[in-house]
A and B are shown apart, each in its own frame.
Chain A
Amino acid sequence: MVSKSSRQAIDPATVNGWGVDADSRNDPTYPYRDRAADQAKGMAWERPPLQPEDVEVLRSLEHNRRPAVFGVSVPPSGVSGMIRRAAFTYSESDWRHWLMLLGADRVNMLEGILADLIGGRVPNIPAEMGVRAEWQHNRDSLVRKAAIAATVSTVAIVLLRRRAAGRERRAGRL
Protein backbone atom coordinates (compact mmCIF):
# COMPACT_ATOMS: atom_id res chain seq x y z
CA MET A 1 0.00 0.00 0.00
CA VAL A 2 1.31 3.45 -0.90
CA SER A 3 0.43 6.51 1.13
CA LYS A 4 1.85 9.90 1.78
CA SER A 5 1.17 11.11 5.28
CA SER A 6 2.83 14.50 5.62
CA ARG A 7 0.90 17.44 4.17
CA GLN A 8 4.09 19.35 3.61
CA ALA A 9 5.67 16.53 1.67
CA ILE A 10 5.56 18.43 -1.66
CA ASP A 11 6.53 22.07 -1.98
CA PRO A 12 4.50 23.40 -4.94
CA ALA A 13 7.27 25.83 -5.86
CA THR A 14 9.53 22.92 -6.65
CA VAL A 15 7.02 21.39 -9.11
CA ASN A 16 7.81 22.00 -12.76
CA GLY A 17 5.19 24.34 -14.33
CA TRP A 18 3.45 25.16 -11.06
CA GLY A 19 0.71 27.79 -11.55
CA VAL A 20 1.48 28.72 -15.15
CA ASP A 21 -2.19 28.37 -16.15
CA ALA A 22 -3.74 29.72 -12.97
CA ASP A 23 -6.64 32.10 -13.74
CA SER A 24 -8.56 33.77 -10.95
CA ARG A 25 -11.60 34.17 -13.23
CA ASN A 26 -11.86 30.40 -13.50
CA ASP A 27 -14.25 30.17 -10.60
CA PRO A 28 -17.79 28.85 -10.96
CA THR A 29 -18.59 29.89 -7.39
CA TYR A 30 -18.83 33.56 -8.38
CA PRO A 31 -20.66 35.55 -7.01
CA TYR A 32 -21.94 33.59 -4.07
CA ARG A 33 -18.55 32.74 -2.63
CA ASP A 34 -16.05 35.47 -1.94
CA ARG A 35 -12.79 33.63 -2.42
CA ALA A 36 -10.73 36.70 -1.68
CA ALA A 37 -11.86 36.21 1.92
CA ASP A 38 -10.55 32.63 1.92
CA GLN A 39 -7.20 33.38 3.51
CA ALA A 40 -6.76 31.39 6.66
CA LYS A 41 -6.57 27.74 5.73
CA GLY A 42 -8.03 25.21 8.08
CA MET A 43 -9.94 25.83 11.29
CA ALA A 44 -8.00 28.87 12.40
CA TRP A 45 -10.83 31.38 12.79
CA GLU A 46 -11.61 33.18 16.02
CA ARG A 47 -14.49 31.24 17.53
CA PRO A 48 -17.75 32.52 18.99
CA PRO A 49 -18.22 31.78 22.71
CA LEU A 50 -19.26 28.18 23.30
CA GLN A 51 -22.82 27.40 24.35
CA PRO A 52 -22.82 25.33 27.54
CA GLU A 53 -23.88 21.77 26.78
CA ASP A 54 -26.84 21.33 29.12
CA VAL A 55 -28.67 18.83 26.92
CA GLU A 56 -27.37 15.74 25.15
CA VAL A 57 -26.14 16.71 21.69
CA LEU A 58 -25.16 14.09 19.14
CA ARG A 59 -22.16 15.08 17.10
CA SER A 60 -21.26 14.13 13.56
CA LEU A 61 -18.01 12.15 13.41
CA GLU A 62 -16.90 14.58 10.72
CA HIS A 63 -16.71 17.45 13.23
CA ASN A 64 -13.41 17.47 15.10
CA ARG A 65 -14.95 19.79 17.69
CA ARG A 66 -18.46 20.75 18.69
CA PRO A 67 -19.78 23.84 16.88
CA ALA A 68 -20.25 26.85 19.13
CA VAL A 69 -24.06 26.85 19.17
CA PHE A 70 -26.67 24.14 18.80
CA GLY A 71 -30.40 23.60 19.19
CA VAL A 72 -31.84 22.28 22.45
CA SER A 73 -35.06 20.87 20.97
CA VAL A 74 -35.98 17.28 22.01
CA PRO A 75 -32.73 15.58 23.07
CA PRO A 76 -32.51 11.86 22.21
CA SER A 77 -34.52 9.60 24.50
CA GLY A 78 -36.06 6.14 24.69
CA VAL A 79 -35.54 3.45 22.10
CA SER A 80 -35.36 5.99 19.26
CA GLY A 81 -32.64 7.78 21.20
CA MET A 82 -30.63 4.57 21.45
CA ILE A 83 -30.90 4.06 17.69
CA ARG A 84 -29.89 7.69 17.07
CA ARG A 85 -26.82 7.36 19.30
CA ALA A 86 -25.83 4.23 17.40
CA ALA A 87 -26.39 6.02 14.07
CA PHE A 88 -23.89 8.67 15.10
CA THR A 89 -21.13 6.05 15.26
CA TYR A 90 -21.17 6.23 11.44
CA SER A 91 -20.13 9.25 9.39
CA GLU A 92 -22.47 11.37 7.28
CA SER A 93 -20.99 9.62 4.29
CA ASP A 94 -22.25 6.23 5.43
CA TRP A 95 -25.79 5.26 4.42
CA ARG A 96 -26.26 3.36 7.68
CA HIS A 97 -26.10 6.68 9.53
CA TRP A 98 -29.11 8.06 7.68
CA LEU A 99 -31.13 4.87 7.40
CA MET A 100 -30.83 4.29 11.15
CA LEU A 101 -31.95 7.85 11.81
CA LEU A 102 -34.98 7.37 9.55
CA GLY A 103 -35.75 4.14 11.41
CA ALA A 104 -35.43 5.99 14.72
CA ASP A 105 -37.89 8.60 13.43
CA ARG A 106 -40.53 5.93 12.83
CA VAL A 107 -39.97 4.42 16.30
CA ASN A 108 -40.14 7.94 17.74
CA MET A 109 -43.58 8.42 16.20
CA LEU A 110 -44.87 5.37 18.11
CA GLU A 111 -43.19 6.67 21.27
CA GLY A 112 -45.07 9.94 20.72
CA ILE A 113 -48.43 8.16 20.59
CA LEU A 114 -47.51 6.17 23.68
CA ALA A 115 -46.46 9.32 25.54
CA ASP A 116 -49.81 10.91 24.66
CA LEU A 117 -51.72 7.89 25.95
CA ILE A 118 -49.65 7.69 29.15
CA GLY A 119 -50.36 11.39 29.65
CA GLY A 120 -54.07 10.58 29.50
CA ARG A 121 -54.60 11.97 26.00
CA VAL A 122 -55.87 10.12 22.96
CA PRO A 123 -54.27 11.98 20.04
CA ASN A 124 -56.83 13.25 17.57
CA ILE A 125 -54.89 11.99 14.58
CA PRO A 126 -57.38 13.08 11.88
CA ALA A 127 -57.33 16.61 13.30
CA GLU A 128 -53.52 16.60 13.44
CA MET A 129 -53.54 15.57 9.79
CA GLY A 130 -55.72 18.55 8.92
CA VAL A 131 -58.87 16.62 8.03
CA ARG A 132 -60.86 19.83 8.48
CA ALA A 133 -59.03 21.42 5.54
CA GLU A 134 -59.82 18.36 3.42
CA TRP A 135 -63.46 18.54 4.52
CA GLN A 136 -63.71 22.20 3.57
CA HIS A 137 -61.83 22.16 0.30
CA ASN A 138 -61.67 18.60 -0.96
CA ARG A 139 -64.82 17.01 0.38
CA ASP A 140 -65.58 14.72 -2.55
CA SER A 141 -62.21 13.07 -2.45
CA LEU A 142 -62.33 12.77 1.35
CA VAL A 143 -65.77 11.15 1.19
CA ARG A 144 -64.61 8.85 -1.61
CA LYS A 145 -61.57 7.76 0.42
CA ALA A 146 -63.70 7.19 3.51
CA ALA A 147 -66.22 5.20 1.46
CA ILE A 148 -63.47 3.04 -0.04
CA ALA A 149 -61.98 2.43 3.40
CA ALA A 150 -65.40 1.52 4.80
CA THR A 151 -66.18 -0.83 1.89
CA VAL A 152 -62.81 -2.56 2.11
CA SER A 153 -63.17 -3.12 5.83
CA THR A 154 -66.77 -4.35 5.52
CA VAL A 155 -65.81 -6.82 2.79
CA ALA A 156 -62.85 -7.98 4.87
CA ILE A 157 -65.04 -8.54 7.91
CA VAL A 158 -67.63 -10.48 5.90
CA LEU A 159 -64.94 -12.68 4.33
CA LEU A 160 -63.28 -13.36 7.69
CA ARG A 161 -66.67 -14.29 9.23
CA ARG A 162 -67.41 -16.64 6.37
CA ARG A 163 -64.06 -18.35 6.73
CA ALA A 164 -64.52 -18.65 10.46
CA ALA A 165 -68.03 -20.07 9.94
CA GLY A 166 -66.65 -22.53 7.36
CA ARG A 167 -63.99 -23.69 9.78
CA GLU A 168 -66.61 -24.24 12.47
CA ARG A 169 -68.80 -26.24 10.08
CA ARG A 170 -65.85 -28.40 9.06
CA ALA A 171 -64.85 -28.80 12.67
CA GLY A 172 -68.46 -29.83 13.48
CA ARG A 173 -68.35 -32.58 10.86
CA LEU A 174 -65.33 -34.23 12.40
Chain B
Amino acid sequence: MLAADYRGPYRVRAERKPEPAIHHPRDAIVRVTRSCICGSDLHLYHGLVPDTRVGMTFGHEFCGIVEEVGAEVGNLSPGDHVLVPFNIACGQCHFCKQGLFGNCHEANPEATAVGGIYGYSHTAGGYDGGQAQYARVPYADFGPTLIPDGMDLDDAVLLTDIVPTGYQAAEMGGIQKGDTVVVFGAGPVGIMAARCAWLFGAGRVLVIDHVDYRLEFASRYCPAEVYNFAAIDDMALFIKKQTDSLGADVCIDAVGGDAAGSMLRTLLGKKLKLEAGSAITLHWAINSVKKGGIVSIVGVYGPTGNLIPMGNVVNKGITIRANQASVKRLLPRLIEHVQAGRIDPKALITHRLPLEEVSDAYRLFSAKLDACIKPVLYPNGGA
Protein backbone atom coordinates (compact mmCIF):
# COMPACT_ATOMS: atom_id res chain seq x y z
CA MET B 1 0.00 0.00 0.00
CA LEU B 2 0.98 3.65 -0.22
CA ALA B 3 1.78 5.41 3.08
CA ALA B 4 3.41 8.59 4.29
CA ASP B 5 6.93 7.91 5.53
CA TYR B 6 8.87 10.15 7.92
CA ARG B 7 12.55 10.55 6.97
CA GLY B 8 13.75 13.20 9.43
CA PRO B 9 12.94 16.81 10.30
CA TYR B 10 11.00 18.53 7.49
CA ARG B 11 11.08 15.36 5.35
CA VAL B 12 8.08 13.14 4.60
CA ARG B 13 7.52 11.11 1.45
CA ALA B 14 4.93 8.73 0.04
CA GLU B 15 6.29 5.21 0.08
CA ARG B 16 5.19 1.62 -0.65
CA LYS B 17 4.80 -0.34 2.60
CA PRO B 18 3.27 -3.67 3.63
CA GLU B 19 -0.41 -3.48 4.58
CA PRO B 20 -1.06 -3.54 8.33
CA ALA B 21 -2.17 -6.78 9.99
CA ILE B 22 -4.35 -7.69 12.96
CA HIS B 23 -2.14 -8.02 16.05
CA HIS B 24 -4.76 -8.26 18.77
CA PRO B 25 -8.30 -9.72 18.97
CA ARG B 26 -9.74 -6.21 19.39
CA ASP B 27 -7.98 -4.79 16.30
CA ALA B 28 -9.56 -3.79 13.02
CA ILE B 29 -8.06 -2.81 9.68
CA VAL B 30 -9.56 0.27 8.08
CA ARG B 31 -9.28 1.44 4.48
CA VAL B 32 -8.69 5.16 4.89
CA THR B 33 -10.99 7.53 3.01
CA ARG B 34 -9.91 10.86 4.56
CA SER B 35 -6.85 11.72 6.60
CA CYS B 36 -5.89 15.19 7.80
CA ILE B 37 -2.58 16.77 8.64
CA CYS B 38 -2.77 18.42 12.06
CA GLY B 39 -0.81 21.12 13.88
CA SER B 40 0.26 18.28 16.17
CA ASP B 41 1.91 16.57 13.19
CA LEU B 42 3.98 19.70 12.71
CA HIS B 43 5.70 19.13 16.07
CA LEU B 44 6.74 15.72 14.72
CA TYR B 45 7.62 17.15 11.32
CA HIS B 46 9.80 19.80 12.94
CA GLY B 47 11.65 17.13 14.94
CA LEU B 48 10.49 18.38 18.34
CA VAL B 49 8.96 15.15 19.69
CA PRO B 50 11.44 12.68 21.24
CA ASP B 51 11.45 9.11 19.87
CA THR B 52 10.08 9.99 16.44
CA ARG B 53 11.58 7.19 14.38
CA VAL B 54 12.50 7.31 10.71
CA GLY B 55 10.07 5.12 8.77
CA MET B 56 6.99 5.88 10.84
CA THR B 57 3.67 6.77 9.20
CA PHE B 58 1.99 9.77 10.82
CA GLY B 59 -1.72 10.60 10.88
CA HIS B 60 -4.14 10.62 13.81
CA GLU B 61 -7.18 12.24 12.16
CA PHE B 62 -8.81 9.77 9.80
CA CYS B 63 -11.97 7.99 8.82
CA GLY B 64 -12.37 4.92 6.69
CA ILE B 65 -14.12 1.71 5.79
CA VAL B 66 -13.69 -1.36 7.98
CA GLU B 67 -11.92 -4.09 5.97
CA GLU B 68 -11.28 -6.75 8.57
CA VAL B 69 -12.00 -7.20 12.28
CA GLY B 70 -10.34 -9.24 15.04
CA ALA B 71 -12.10 -12.05 16.91
CA GLU B 72 -13.38 -9.83 19.73
CA VAL B 73 -14.79 -6.97 17.68
CA GLY B 74 -18.49 -7.71 17.72
CA ASN B 75 -19.93 -4.29 16.97
CA LEU B 76 -18.30 -3.55 13.60
CA SER B 77 -18.40 -5.39 10.31
CA PRO B 78 -16.47 -5.03 7.08
CA GLY B 79 -18.02 -2.24 5.04
CA ASP B 80 -18.89 -0.01 7.99
CA HIS B 81 -17.73 3.58 7.50
CA VAL B 82 -16.25 4.85 10.75
CA LEU B 83 -14.54 7.92 12.12
CA VAL B 84 -11.63 7.04 14.37
CA PRO B 85 -10.96 9.19 17.48
CA PHE B 86 -7.28 10.13 17.67
CA ASN B 87 -6.92 8.63 21.17
CA ILE B 88 -6.36 4.89 21.38
CA ALA B 89 -8.35 3.86 24.45
CA CYS B 90 -9.29 0.51 25.96
CA GLY B 91 -12.51 1.72 27.57
CA GLN B 92 -11.97 -0.27 30.76
CA CYS B 93 -8.87 0.92 32.65
CA HIS B 94 -8.89 3.21 35.69
CA PHE B 95 -8.73 6.30 33.46
CA CYS B 96 -11.06 5.24 30.66
CA LYS B 97 -13.67 4.39 33.30
CA GLN B 98 -13.63 8.06 34.30
CA GLY B 99 -14.03 9.26 30.73
CA LEU B 100 -10.36 10.19 30.40
CA PHE B 101 -10.00 8.48 27.03
CA GLY B 102 -6.98 10.61 26.15
CA ASN B 103 -5.19 9.16 29.18
CA CYS B 104 -5.71 5.40 28.75
CA HIS B 105 -3.23 3.25 30.67
CA GLU B 106 -3.42 0.22 28.37
CA ALA B 107 -2.27 1.74 25.11
CA ASN B 108 1.27 3.08 25.43
CA PRO B 109 4.21 1.08 26.81
CA GLU B 110 6.74 3.82 26.05
CA ALA B 111 5.26 6.43 28.38
CA THR B 112 2.82 6.68 31.27
CA ALA B 113 2.23 10.42 30.94
CA VAL B 114 1.03 10.15 27.34
CA GLY B 115 -1.89 8.06 26.09
CA GLY B 116 -1.86 6.06 22.86
CA ILE B 117 -2.18 8.17 19.71
CA TYR B 118 -2.09 7.02 16.09
CA GLY B 119 1.04 7.96 14.15
CA TYR B 120 2.44 10.10 16.90
CA SER B 121 5.97 8.80 17.59
CA HIS B 122 6.89 6.07 20.04
CA THR B 123 6.33 8.52 22.86
CA ALA B 124 2.63 7.98 22.07
CA GLY B 125 2.84 4.21 21.67
CA GLY B 126 4.60 3.57 18.34
CA TYR B 127 1.48 3.13 16.20
CA ASP B 128 1.58 3.75 12.48
CA GLY B 129 -1.07 6.31 11.61
CA GLY B 130 -3.73 7.02 9.05
CA GLN B 131 -1.80 8.94 6.38
CA ALA B 132 -1.84 5.67 4.47
CA GLN B 133 -4.23 3.58 2.43
CA TYR B 134 -4.82 1.24 5.38
CA ALA B 135 -4.44 1.58 9.12
CA ARG B 136 -4.50 -0.78 12.08
CA VAL B 137 -7.09 0.36 14.63
CA PRO B 138 -6.61 -1.14 18.14
CA TYR B 139 -9.56 -1.41 20.56
CA ALA B 140 -11.78 -1.16 17.49
CA ASP B 141 -14.78 -2.32 19.53
CA PHE B 142 -14.46 0.83 21.61
CA GLY B 143 -13.02 3.81 19.69
CA PRO B 144 -14.36 3.97 16.14
CA THR B 145 -17.78 5.51 15.71
CA LEU B 146 -20.16 4.86 12.82
CA ILE B 147 -20.50 7.96 10.66
CA PRO B 148 -24.14 9.00 10.89
CA ASP B 149 -26.21 8.70 7.73
CA GLY B 150 -26.02 11.77 5.61
CA MET B 151 -22.96 13.23 7.32
CA ASP B 152 -20.36 14.64 4.94
CA LEU B 153 -17.06 12.74 5.26
CA ASP B 154 -15.21 16.04 5.41
CA ASP B 155 -17.22 16.88 8.54
CA ALA B 156 -16.73 13.39 9.95
CA VAL B 157 -12.95 13.47 9.66
CA LEU B 158 -12.77 16.71 11.62
CA LEU B 159 -14.74 15.08 14.43
CA THR B 160 -11.74 12.80 15.09
CA ASP B 161 -9.75 15.65 16.66
CA ILE B 162 -10.20 19.29 15.66
CA VAL B 163 -13.83 19.75 16.72
CA PRO B 164 -13.54 17.86 20.04
CA THR B 165 -10.22 19.55 20.85
CA GLY B 166 -11.55 23.03 20.17
CA TYR B 167 -14.68 22.22 22.12
CA GLN B 168 -12.78 20.81 25.09
CA ALA B 169 -10.49 23.85 25.09
CA ALA B 170 -13.57 26.03 25.59
CA GLU B 171 -15.14 23.58 28.03
CA MET B 172 -12.01 23.51 30.21
CA GLY B 173 -12.12 27.28 30.23
CA GLY B 174 -15.18 26.96 32.49
CA ILE B 175 -16.71 29.81 30.51
CA GLN B 176 -19.68 31.51 32.19
CA LYS B 177 -22.22 33.65 30.33
CA GLY B 178 -20.71 37.02 29.49
CA ASP B 179 -17.06 36.02 30.02
CA THR B 180 -14.29 37.53 27.95
CA VAL B 181 -12.32 34.75 26.30
CA VAL B 182 -8.95 35.17 24.60
CA VAL B 183 -7.85 32.40 22.25
CA PHE B 184 -4.18 32.29 21.30
CA GLY B 185 -3.71 30.63 17.91
CA ALA B 186 -5.91 30.84 14.81
CA GLY B 187 -5.07 27.41 13.50
CA PRO B 188 -7.90 24.88 13.13
CA VAL B 189 -7.87 24.19 16.89
CA GLY B 190 -7.93 27.84 17.94
CA ILE B 191 -10.61 28.68 15.40
CA MET B 192 -12.76 25.82 16.69
CA ALA B 193 -12.12 26.82 20.32
CA ALA B 194 -13.26 30.37 19.56
CA ARG B 195 -16.35 29.08 17.75
CA CYS B 196 -17.21 26.86 20.73
CA ALA B 197 -16.57 29.61 23.30
CA TRP B 198 -19.82 31.15 22.07
CA LEU B 199 -21.67 27.87 22.64
CA PHE B 200 -20.66 28.10 26.30
CA GLY B 201 -21.97 31.63 26.55
CA ALA B 202 -18.92 33.85 26.12
CA GLY B 203 -19.67 37.56 26.00
CA ARG B 204 -16.58 38.49 23.97
CA VAL B 205 -14.16 36.35 22.00
CA LEU B 206 -10.73 37.61 20.96
CA VAL B 207 -8.39 35.62 18.72
CA ILE B 208 -4.64 36.29 18.52
CA ASP B 209 -2.25 35.09 15.79
CA HIS B 210 0.24 36.63 13.37
CA VAL B 211 -1.05 35.09 10.15
CA ASP B 212 -3.47 37.55 8.60
CA TYR B 213 -5.43 35.20 6.35
CA ARG B 214 -6.18 32.97 9.35
CA LEU B 215 -7.25 35.92 11.47
CA GLU B 216 -9.49 37.09 8.68
CA PHE B 217 -11.08 33.65 8.46
CA ALA B 218 -11.56 33.54 12.25
CA SER B 219 -13.17 36.97 12.28
CA ARG B 220 -15.90 35.73 9.95
CA TYR B 221 -16.22 32.09 10.95
CA CYS B 222 -16.11 32.14 14.75
CA PRO B 223 -16.91 35.15 14.69
CA ALA B 224 -14.29 36.96 16.77
CA GLU B 225 -12.37 40.15 17.33
CA VAL B 226 -8.97 39.38 15.85
CA TYR B 227 -5.53 40.85 16.53
CA ASN B 228 -2.15 40.31 14.93
CA PHE B 229 0.46 39.97 17.67
CA ALA B 230 3.19 41.23 15.35
CA ALA B 231 1.63 44.66 15.79
CA ILE B 232 1.35 44.39 19.57
CA ASP B 233 4.30 45.40 21.74
CA ASP B 234 3.21 43.92 25.01
CA MET B 235 0.52 41.25 24.99
CA ALA B 236 -0.46 41.39 28.67
CA LEU B 237 -0.76 45.16 28.55
CA PHE B 238 -2.82 44.95 25.38
CA ILE B 239 -5.30 42.47 26.87
CA LYS B 240 -5.51 44.54 30.05
CA LYS B 241 -6.40 47.59 27.96
CA GLN B 242 -9.05 45.55 26.20
CA THR B 243 -10.61 44.47 29.50
CA ASP B 244 -10.85 47.59 31.63
CA SER B 245 -7.40 46.76 33.06
CA LEU B 246 -8.55 43.58 34.84
CA GLY B 247 -7.59 40.91 32.32
CA ALA B 248 -9.59 38.27 30.48
CA ASP B 249 -11.76 35.78 32.36
CA VAL B 250 -10.41 32.90 30.32
CA CYS B 251 -7.28 32.47 28.19
CA ILE B 252 -6.93 29.48 25.87
CA ASP B 253 -3.57 28.27 24.55
CA ALA B 254 -4.21 26.70 21.15
CA VAL B 255 -0.63 27.10 19.95
CA GLY B 256 1.72 24.85 21.93
CA GLY B 257 5.48 24.51 21.70
CA ASP B 258 5.86 25.64 18.10
CA ALA B 259 4.91 29.20 19.01
CA ALA B 260 6.45 32.22 17.30
CA GLY B 261 6.62 35.65 18.92
CA SER B 262 9.73 35.52 21.11
CA MET B 263 13.20 35.15 19.66
CA LEU B 264 14.63 34.12 23.01
CA ARG B 265 12.02 31.40 23.53
CA THR B 266 12.48 30.17 19.97
CA LEU B 267 16.21 29.87 20.56
CA LEU B 268 15.88 28.14 23.94
CA GLY B 269 12.93 25.91 23.15
CA LYS B 270 12.99 25.16 19.46
CA LYS B 271 16.65 25.43 18.48
CA LEU B 272 18.61 24.46 21.61
CA LYS B 273 15.86 22.23 23.05
CA LEU B 274 16.57 23.55 26.55
CA GLU B 275 12.82 24.05 26.91
CA ALA B 276 10.10 21.72 25.63
CA GLY B 277 9.27 24.15 22.82
CA SER B 278 8.59 27.88 23.12
CA ALA B 279 6.12 28.65 25.91
CA ILE B 280 5.56 32.28 24.95
CA THR B 281 1.82 31.73 24.47
CA LEU B 282 1.50 30.29 27.93
CA HIS B 283 3.48 33.20 29.30
CA TRP B 284 1.06 35.60 27.62
CA ALA B 285 -1.97 33.62 28.76
CA ILE B 286 -0.91 33.59 32.42
CA ASN B 287 -0.08 37.28 32.40
CA SER B 288 -3.21 38.32 30.48
CA VAL B 289 -5.82 36.43 32.47
CA LYS B 290 -7.71 38.01 35.35
CA LYS B 291 -6.94 37.22 38.98
CA GLY B 292 -8.85 34.05 39.81
CA GLY B 293 -9.16 33.38 36.08
CA ILE B 294 -8.70 30.18 34.13
CA VAL B 295 -6.03 29.20 31.63
CA SER B 296 -7.03 26.31 29.39
CA ILE B 297 -4.23 24.56 27.51
CA VAL B 298 -4.68 22.27 24.53
CA GLY B 299 -1.52 23.37 22.70
CA VAL B 300 1.00 20.54 22.83
CA TYR B 301 4.37 20.83 24.57
CA GLY B 302 7.26 18.40 24.80
CA PRO B 303 7.83 16.20 27.85
CA THR B 304 10.78 18.02 29.47
CA GLY B 305 9.87 21.42 30.88
CA ASN B 306 9.14 25.05 30.10
CA LEU B 307 9.84 28.46 31.51
CA ILE B 308 6.57 30.00 32.64
CA PRO B 309 5.81 32.76 35.18
CA MET B 310 4.77 30.37 37.94
CA GLY B 311 4.88 33.10 40.56
CA ASN B 312 2.05 34.88 38.77
CA VAL B 313 -0.01 31.70 38.67
CA VAL B 314 0.24 31.63 42.47
CA ASN B 315 -0.17 35.33 43.15
CA LYS B 316 -3.11 35.70 40.80
CA GLY B 317 -4.82 32.53 41.94
CA ILE B 318 -5.03 31.13 38.43
CA THR B 319 -6.53 27.74 37.66
CA ILE B 320 -4.79 25.86 34.88
CA ARG B 321 -6.75 23.16 33.09
CA ALA B 322 -5.32 21.06 30.32
CA ASN B 323 -5.54 17.73 28.57
CA GLN B 324 -5.54 15.85 25.34
CA ALA B 325 -9.13 15.99 24.15
CA SER B 326 -11.23 13.02 25.17
CA VAL B 327 -12.82 12.56 21.76
CA LYS B 328 -15.12 9.64 22.47
CA ARG B 329 -16.67 11.39 25.46
CA LEU B 330 -17.60 14.44 23.41
CA LEU B 331 -18.73 12.85 20.15
CA PRO B 332 -22.47 12.44 20.89
CA ARG B 333 -22.89 16.13 21.71
CA LEU B 334 -20.66 17.29 18.85
CA ILE B 335 -22.47 15.18 16.27
CA GLU B 336 -25.64 16.97 17.40
CA HIS B 337 -23.96 20.35 16.98
CA VAL B 338 -22.81 19.47 13.46
CA GLN B 339 -26.20 18.10 12.47
CA ALA B 340 -27.95 21.17 13.86
CA GLY B 341 -25.62 23.42 11.87
CA ARG B 342 -24.13 25.06 14.96
CA ILE B 343 -20.66 23.89 13.96
CA ASP B 344 -19.57 23.69 10.33
CA PRO B 345 -16.29 21.72 10.46
CA LYS B 346 -15.60 21.28 6.76
CA ALA B 347 -15.46 25.03 6.18
CA LEU B 348 -11.93 24.82 7.67
CA ILE B 349 -10.68 22.57 4.88
CA THR B 350 -8.70 24.57 2.34
CA HIS B 351 -6.72 21.81 0.59
CA ARG B 352 -7.68 18.32 -0.64
CA LEU B 353 -4.74 16.29 -1.91
CA PRO B 354 -3.91 12.73 -2.94
CA LEU B 355 -1.50 10.86 -0.67
CA GLU B 356 1.15 10.97 -3.41
CA GLU B 357 1.48 14.70 -2.67
CA VAL B 358 2.06 14.30 1.05
CA SER B 359 5.48 16.05 0.98
CA ASP B 360 3.92 19.16 -0.53
CA ALA B 361 0.92 18.96 1.79
CA TYR B 362 3.17 19.10 4.85
CA ARG B 363 5.08 22.01 3.40
CA LEU B 364 1.91 23.95 2.50
CA PHE B 365 0.54 23.56 6.01
CA SER B 366 3.80 24.07 7.87
CA ALA B 367 4.89 27.16 5.91
CA LYS B 368 1.29 28.46 5.71
CA LEU B 369 1.40 28.74 1.93
CA ASP B 370 -1.59 29.33 -0.35
CA ALA B 371 -3.77 30.46 2.59
CA CYS B 372 -3.75 26.93 4.01
CA ILE B 373 -5.86 26.30 7.09
CA LYS B 374 -6.56 22.56 7.01
CA PRO B 375 -5.24 20.06 4.48
CA VAL B 376 -6.90 16.69 3.98
CA LEU B 377 -5.34 13.72 2.20
CA TYR B 378 -7.42 11.26 0.19
CA PRO B 379 -5.30 8.08 0.33
CA ASN B 380 -7.68 5.99 -1.75
CA GLY B 381 -8.61 8.48 -4.45
CA GLY B 382 -11.34 11.08 -4.70
CA ALA B 383 -9.28 14.22 -4.05
Query: Which of B74-82, B94-102, B339-347 touches A?
Result: B94-102
B7, A73: Cβ atoms closer than 8 Å? no
With both beta carbons as reference points, the residue of chain B lying nearest to A48 in the complex is identified as B90
- Of the candidates B56, B106, B171, B326, the one whose C-beta lies within 8 Å of that of A48 is B106
With both beta carbons as reference points, the residue of chain A lying nearest to B351 in the complex is identified as A133
B360, A69: Cβ atoms closer than 8 Å? no
A59, B110: Cβ atoms closer than 8 Å? yes
B172, A32: Cβ atoms closer than 8 Å? yes
For B219, list chain A residues within 8 Å (CB).
none
B126, A128: Cβ atoms closer than 8 Å? no
For A38, list chain B residues within 8 Å (CB).
94, 97-98
Query: Which of A2-10, A108-116, A160-168 touches B?
Result: A108-116
Interface membership of B24, Cβ < 8 A = yes
Q: What CA separation (Å) do A166 and B52 show in the bound complex?
A: 48
Interface membership of B334, Cβ < 8 A = no
A104, B51: Cβ atoms closer than 8 Å? yes
User: Interface digits, A22-49 against B, CB 8 Å rule (1 contact, 0 not)?
Assistant: 0000001001111101101011011111
- Of the candidates A46, A71, A87, the one whose C-beta lies within 8 Å of that of B125 is A71
For A66, list chain B residues within 8 Å (CB).
109
For B138, list chain A residues within 8 Å (CB).
51, 69
- Of the candidates A84, A98, A134, the one whose C-beta lies within 8 Å of that of B363 is A134
Question: DSSP class of A's interface residues: helix, strand, loop or mixed?
Answer: loop
With both beta carbons as reference points, the residue of chain B lying nearest to A129 in the complex is identified as B10
Q: Report A99 CB to chain B, min CB distance, Å.
A: 7
- Of the candidates B128, B303, B323, the one whose C-beta lies within 8 Å of that of A73 is B128
Q: What CA separation (Å) do A132 and B363 show in the bound complex?
A: 9
A125, B23: Cβ atoms closer than 8 Å? no
A132, B360: Cβ atoms closer than 8 Å? yes
For B27, list chain A residues within 8 Å (CB).
69
Task: Tell me whether A137 and B364 are in contact in the complex, defined as CB-CB below 8 angstroms, given that A43-B94, A69-B88, A105-B47 are known contacts.
Answer: yes
Q: Which chain B residues (71-129) contact chain A, with CB distance < 8 Å?
A: 72, 88, 90, 92-94, 97-100, 105-113, 116, 122-123, 125-128
For A71, list chain B residues within 8 Å (CB).
116, 122, 125-128
Task: Tell me whether A33 and B55 are in contact in the complex, defined as CB-CB below 8 angstroms, given that A67-B108, A109-B7 are known contacts.
Answer: no
Q: What CA separation (Å) do A18 and B99 show in the bound complex?
A: 29
Interface membership of B273, Cβ < 8 A = yes
For B12, list chain A residues within 8 Å (CB).
128
Interface size class of B (residues with CB under 8 A): 35 or more
Q: Report B175 CB to chain A, min CB distance, Å.
A: 13
Interface membership of A127, Cβ < 8 A = yes
B111, A92: Cβ atoms closer than 8 Å? yes
- Of the candidates A40, A67, A92, the one whose C-beta lies within 8 Å of that of B113 is A92
With both beta carbons as reference points, the residue of chain A lying nearest to B114 in the complex is identified as A92
A28, B319: Cβ atoms closer than 8 Å? yes
Q: What CA separation (Å) do A49 and B13 show in the bound complex?
A: 35
Q: Report A9 CB to chain B, min CB distance, Å.
A: 24
User: Interface digits, A68-111 against B, CB 8 Å rule (1 contact, 0 not)?
Assistant: 11111110100010001001100010010011011011101101
Task: Tell me whether A133 and B364 are in contact in the complex, defined as CB-CB below 8 angstroms, given that A73-B126, A111-B54, A112-B54 are known contacts.
Answer: yes
A33, B319: Cβ atoms closer than 8 Å? no
5 contacts between A and B (CB under 8 A): A69-B139, A70-B108, A71-B116, A99-B273, A125-B11
Q: Which residues of B contact A (CB under 8 A)?
A: 7-13, 23-27, 47, 50-57, 72, 88, 90, 92-94, 97-100, 105-113, 116, 122-123, 125-128, 138-139, 168, 171-172, 273, 302-305, 319, 321, 323, 326, 329, 359-364, 366-367, 369-370
Task: List the 9 closest A-B pairs by CB distance, nearest first.
Answer: A130-B363, A71-B126, A109-B8, A71-B127, A101-B50, A112-B54, A137-B369, A133-B360, A128-B11
